[in-house]
Amino acid sequence: MGKGYQIDELKQQLVEILRDSKMGMSGSEISKKLDVNRITMTKYLKVLAAEGFLRQKIIGNTTLWFLETGQETFIFPDDYFKVSSKYQDSLLKGSDREVFSLIKNCINSEASVYKLAVEVIIPAIESVQDLYDEGKIGTSEAKLLGNTISDSLHILNQIPVEPNSKKKIIVLSGDPESTLISEAASASFHSKEWTVFHLGDMSSAINVLFDLDFQKMVNKIWKQKSGVLIVLVFSNSKERLNFFADSIKPIKEKIGKRMNIILCGKSDKKAKLACDLQTDRFEDTIQWSETVFENSK
């Protein structure tokens, strides 16, 4: 295997030779098939196993190699719809392994984290909520499925990205039901080089001292007040969106235009809340924030 050998090319070749191999293949068989030095191939196989692309099974003195469940070659952007269907099928079957392998395979296929969030993860969140609302699944199952979605978002958050110190965002949910959406937003902003401070469900923090508590945190994480700071709040409750907006507004007034508030949820649009952007579309939060940063330069 030459020094310049592309790992993506190797993955594609392994998919082709292992896809239909129910019994697996040994390292020696694989190296012969691909005409690669056996020792070098073994090193690559171990790396790909650590990435979750392959799995191994030791039988006696022989190590057999298999594709992880769900591994296949995707071509983006054409295959987002295909991935969305596979993700929901694996999720509702309760196959965590397939879900996580699918997400890792999408990363290996250079999928956009933002597009995965919009076209795969959020539709799955909405599907689970619909099943719960229709009484087709109970609270326990909905929670279990939600945890699997959360874990798959955690995988996306682990993709190494060098954050831009001028782009900071605080993401929070005003109720437990909006927490997964806020996690999807955090992963999306992370992939676009924002420095993300994810607070999760902050419904327990709704009290008369929240504004003081929040200001202390802002002063700590944004000492230089350089670049922009976005505060993104998710909730489907108009009252909760209003609470967080009113609590954060005085802090924004002191800081000025470098700080912006986004409220996202299916609330009454006629009720104008104290924010810079009020929307019920997840996509708007990312696109608007990127525009605000570009205009601040």
Residues 143 and 256 in one domain: no
64-68, 185-189, 250-254: segment of lowest average pLDDT = 64-68
Query: Does one domain contain both 39 and 107?
Result: no
59, 86: one domain: no
CATH number of the domain within which 103 lies: 1.10.1240.10
Out of 72-81, 113-122, 253-262, which region has the weakest mean confidence (pLDDT)? Answer: 72-81
Give the domain range for residue 235: 164-296
* Dihedral class, residue 200 (left if φ above 0, else alpha if ψ from -120 to 50, else beta): left
Does 179 lie in the same domain as 126?
no
Report the domain count for the chain.
3
Same-domain pairing of 287 and 173: yes
Same domain? 127 vs 96: yes
Closest CA to 30 of 52, 43, 48, 14: 14
In this prediction, residue 269 has a pLDDT band, given cuts at 50, 70 and 90, of low
Q: What is the pLDDT of residue 2?
A: 44
Using the predicted structure, report yes or no on whether residue 290 has a pLDDT greater than 80. Answer: yes
Question: 């003195």: which residue's tokens?
Answer: 61
Structure tokens at 105: 């395979």
Q: Is the pLDDT of residue 142 over 80?
A: yes
Alpha carbons within 13 angstroms on the beta-carbon side of residue 212 total 3
Domain assignment present for 179: yes
Within a domain: 243: yes
Confidence of residue 186 (pLDDT cuts 50, 70, 90): very high
- CATH for 285: 3.40.50.280
Q: Please, what sign has the CA dihedral across residues 33, 35, 39, 40?
A: negative
Specify the pLDDT at position 101: 84
Please indicate, yes or no, whether residues 186 and 291 belong to a single structural domain of this protein.
Answer: yes
Residue 73 covered by a domain: no
Name the least confident of 11-25, 129-143, 238-252: 11-25
Q: What is the DSSP letter of 274?
A: S
Rounded mean pLDDT, 10-29: 86
Amino acid at 55: R
Instruction: Evaluate if residue 20 carries a pLDDT over 50.
Output: yes
pLDDT score, position 1: 45
Pair (61, 129) in one structural domain: no
Residue 1 lies in a domain: no
